Every structure is written in C-alpha cells, then in structure tokens.
C-alpha cells in the first residue's frame, strides 16, 4: 500500500490510523495506554534516539483519526522504533503473513502485561512437553466453557525455526 495525500477517513490513510491505534492500545507498559502527548514528547524530546524526528500531539491525533495520512519517512521510522515494530508495518508494505505476525507479537506482549498470565506462562517453563500440552488442553476447555474463542493464533513457540 502506498500512503496517499492528506485525505480523510476512508482513504488509504485509514489503514495507517488503524495500525497506529492498534499500537497505542496494545504496546504500552502496565497501566494506561500511551497518550499522543507522551509519544510526541518522547519522539521529539531533543535526543537523537528517534533520528531527530519532530511531531506534535495534534499531528499524532490527526494521524490516528485519519485526517492526515502522509507522515514523513523520518516520523514513520521514529514511530516504528518507539513501538518496536518494523516500519513496513506502518507503511502497509508487509505481506499479509508478516503483518499478521507483527500483530500476533503485539497481542502476545499485551497479554504478558497481565501478571497472572505471566505467572501461568513462567510456571510452565521447564515442565515436560506433554505436561505443557495437557495445560494447553485444560486452558482450552476453560475457554470453551466461558464461550471464549476456542484457540488463539499460534505464537510460534519452539516451532518458529528462525
């Protein structure tokens, strides 16, 4: 996807807005999501960590609501670095499987903010694979009983092979 001009919602920029909003909602430390003001201050804060990019709270708001759709490459790189995602994710340049993988990583990191989820995951470390499989089955049964989606997309685990 190539981001177009400064169109309104419904243009190709709305995909950028959706991705940014997804990152704002999910890529933050425990507690409240980042605000536009916080992200703008971090990126524009005078250090070279973000390549000298400058952005205002208002411009971030316009990007997030689709009123601005063509940020500079420097700003896209800075936003990607801030949220720890490939810049291609913001540009829409990733293949569908690559974008899905980035979104799965974001969901994983968001889930790991929950101390109870972390405790369950950490307590399973070192258990034999068959015990881990049994725990997965038990959790799936609880999800089914609670009318939650049967399975979450695979995170990859040991099957990544990369």
Q: Tell me, what's the pLDDT at 100?
A: 87
**pLDDT at residue 1 is higher than 50:** no
**Contact criterion met (CB below 8 Å) for 148 and 140:** no
Tokens 């990733």 belong to residue: 94
Mean pLDDT of 134-162: 69
Q: Tell me, what's the pLDDT at 36?
A: 96
**CB contact burial 82-107 (16+ within 10 A = b; e otherwise):** bbebeeebbbeebeeeebebbbebbe
Model confidence, pTM: 0.68
Q: Tell me, what's the pLDDT at 59?
A: 97
| Range among 29-33, 78-82, 100-104 rated most confident | 78-82
**pLDDT at residue 116 is higher than 50:** yes
The residue that leads in pLDDT, 158 or 116, is 116
Q: Tell me, what's the pLDDT at 117?
A: 87
| Range among 20-34, 54-68, 103-117 rated most confident | 54-68
Structure tokens at 100: 């899905």
Domains and CATH numbers, the chain: 13-109 (1.10.260.40), 114-153 (no CATH)
Across the chain, mean pLDDT equals: 82
Residue-wise pLDDT for 100-109, tens only, equals 899 888 888 8
Q: What are phi and psi of 12, to 5 degrees?
A: -60, -25
Give the closest residue to 68 by CA, choosing from 124, 132, 3, 129.
Answer: 3
**pLDDT at residue 114 is higher than 90:** no
**pLDDT at residue 146 is higher than 50:** yes
């Amino acid at each position: 996807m190539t981001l177009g001009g400064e169109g309104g919602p419904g243009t190709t920029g709305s995909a950028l807005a959706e991705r940014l909003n997804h990152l704002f909602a999910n890529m933050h430390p425990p507690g409240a999501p980042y605000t536009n003001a916080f992200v703008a201050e971090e990126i524009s804060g005078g250090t070279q960590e973000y390549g000298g990019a400058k952005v205002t709270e208002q411009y971030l708001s316009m990007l997030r609501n689709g009123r601005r759709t063509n940020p500079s490459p420097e700003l896209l790189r800075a936003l990607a670095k801030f949220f720890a995602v490939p810049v291609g994710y913001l540009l829409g340049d990733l293949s569908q499987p690559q974008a899905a993988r980035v979104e799965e990583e974001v969901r994983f990191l968001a889930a790991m903010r929950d101390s109870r989820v972390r405790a369950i995951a950490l307590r399973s470390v070192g258990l034999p694979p068959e015990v881990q499989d049994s725990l997965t089955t038990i959790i799936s049964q609880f999800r089914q009983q609670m009318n939650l989606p049967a399975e979450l997309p695979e995170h990859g685990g040991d099957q990544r092979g990369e």
